[in-house]
Amino acid sequence: MAVETRYGSGYRDPTKLDPINSINRCAELRAVNSTVEVGDGDEPGSRYFIGYVPSNGLMDTGSMVLWDACGVTASLGFKGNPNAFGTYDMTAAGGGPIADVLSQDTDPGTNYGISDLDEPFWSQANQSRDPGGELELILTVDAGAGVADAKIKVVFKFFRQG
């Protein structure tokens, strides 16, 4: 054991010449705040477009998915990776944080964890490189049948390079 000095990704190590990636030091926190109404009888394959995120953005741990008793199981992600942020059983009312960094394998149904927070959205969308621009954030119904007048709320917070 020893006393050490270590530097986080938002602080430049004075012994190195490497610059700090601006998304770790002076990023802007933004959010997509979207509510979608589930249709009566929405079945697997139905898609709910939530919003746009920058391809080089990073998710914030304050992101949440909340829902009424919708009667469906749905995944949150991108076209190239529909369950990038987990699959949620929405048959009963509930919800919670997308990234549960204290216990990575608990409800609401995702294995998304702390190690994934440094992965840019383009990587989580299964792109081989950053295409630039924005990516569509989509909820895809995996199972069940929708219940009329039920709502799903997604508050998706992310860091954007400043």
**Predicted TM-score (pTM) above 0.85:** no
Strand 28-37 to strand 151-160: parallel, antiparallel, or no bridges (unpaired)? antiparallel
Smallest CA-to-CA distance from 116 within 158, 155, 66, 67 is with 158
Task: Report whether pLDDT(151) > 80.
Answer: yes
Contact (CB, 8 A) for 85 and 98: yes
Share of the chain above pLDDT 70, in %: 86
User: Which residues are CB-neighbours of 31 under 8 A, at least 6 positions away?
Assistant: 63, 155, 156, 157, 158
- State the pairing for strand pair 72-77/64-67: unpaired
Instruction: Give the model's pLDDT for residue 160.
Output: 84
Give the burial class of 142: count Cβ atoms within 10 A of its Cβ; 0-12 exposed, 13-18 middle, 19 or more buried: middle
Residues 13-50 pLDDT 10s: 888 887 776 666 777 889 999 999 998 989 999 999 99
> Largest Cα–Cα distance in the chain?
62
The pLDDT tens digits for 79-99 are: 989 988 888 888 888 888 776
Q: Which two tokens stand for residue 45?
A: 């394959």
